[in-house]
């Protein structure tokens, strides 16, 4: 039994290290996504009534809080393993459980609301494009040009016949010459690739948080029923 306890302690230390690396990875991914040119550009251009700006900022704060919770869980679990403290073990378990309770809704939201994010991003482009088509304001034209340059796309398929003039004024010359990609399709493809990439660390993190909860609960019960995992037995000679 003592050998199994020591094995569990080693496993918990390794798991804590992996969770800490995952927490740092999620913090980095969240920061890079928040300030990435294409995401940030659409967020700055979007109107207050558009849902994308809210989604953009909410995802950033959620990712940072989640990464901090994972790092805290890893630190508490490591300290609990070394010091064999019931209090630290319970706190580590609580942080793992808290991270798990945040990861499951995030995973569900990723699959059930991905179309909402996609539509809100495309709505931003539609609004800017139609404003330029109707008014041809210089301010909106600069925004549309910035979107075309960021996504390397050119215009969209429209039932109106005056799109060619807009595209020649706002698209990069290479995109106009080569009949560039439709911007709505390019936004959809970009978001799909990004969401698929995010799903990988999300699934790995869920697995490690579950494993961390199992190990911390086992360590807590081990410490509870023994004053020390390395305690020697007492022998009485008769």
pLDDT at 36: 92
Gap between the Cα atoms of 10 and 1, Å rounded: 14
Is 31 within a domain? yes
- What is the per-residue pLDDT for 73? 94
Structural domain includes residue 147: no
In this predicted structure, the answer to whether residue 60 has a pLDDT above a threshold of 90 is yes
Mean pLDDT of the 176-201 span? 83
Share of the chain above pLDDT 70, in %: 84
Residue 179 counted as domain residue: no
- Residue given tokens 């992996």 in the structure block: 18
Q: Has residue 202 been placed in a domain?
A: yes
How many Å apart are CA 133 and CA 149, to the nearest integer? 18
Read off the pLDDT of residues 137-176 as tens digits, 9 standing for 90 and up: 678 888 888 998 898 888 876 554 455 567 677 787 665 5
* 84 occurs within a structural domain: yes
Q: How far apart are CA 215 and CA 117, in angstroms?
A: 37
- Rounded CA gap, 188 and 144, in Å? 17
* Full domain range(s) for residue 207: 9-114+196-224
| 40 against 10, higher pLDDT | 40
Domain count, the chain: 1
Which residues touch 110 (CB under 8 Å, ≥6 apart)? Answer: 195, 198, 199, 202
The answer to whether residue 191 sits within a structural domain is no
Is residue 167 within 8 A of residue 154, CB to CB? The reply is: yes
Q: Which among 28, 200, 195, 41 has a CA at the least distance from the CA of 117?
A: 195
Helix (H, G, I), strand (E, B) or coil at 228: coil
């Amino acid at each position: 039994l003592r050998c199994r306890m020591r094995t569990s302690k080693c496993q918990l230390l390794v798991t804590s290290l992996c969770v800490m690396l995952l927490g740092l990875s999620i913090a980095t991914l969240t920061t890079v996504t928040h300030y990435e040119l294409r995401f940030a550009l659409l967020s700055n251009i979007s109107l207050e009534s558009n849902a994308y700006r809210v989604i953009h900022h909410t995802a950033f704060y959620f990712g940072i809080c989640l990464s901090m919770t994972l790092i805290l869980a890893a630190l508490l679990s490591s300290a609990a393993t070394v010091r064999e403290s019931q209090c630290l073990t319970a706190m580590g378990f609580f942080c793992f459980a808290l991270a798990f309770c945040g990861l499951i809704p995030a995973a569900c939201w990723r699959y059930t609301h991905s179309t909402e994010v996609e539509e809100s991003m495309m709505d931003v482009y539609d609004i800017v494009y139609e404003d330029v088509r109707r008014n041809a304001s210089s301010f909106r034209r600069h925004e549309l040009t910035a979107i075309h340059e960021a996504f390397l796309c050119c215009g969209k398929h429209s039932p109106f016949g005056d799109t060619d003039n807009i595209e020649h004024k706002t698209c990069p010359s290479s995109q106009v010459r080569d009949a560039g990609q439709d911007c709505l399709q390019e936004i959809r493809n970009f978001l799909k690739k990004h969401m698929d990439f995010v799903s990988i660390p999300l699934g790995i993190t869920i697995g490690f948080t579950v494993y961390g909860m199992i190990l911390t609960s086992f360590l807590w019960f081990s410490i509870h029923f023994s004053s020390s995992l390395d305690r020697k037995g007492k022998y009485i000679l008769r």
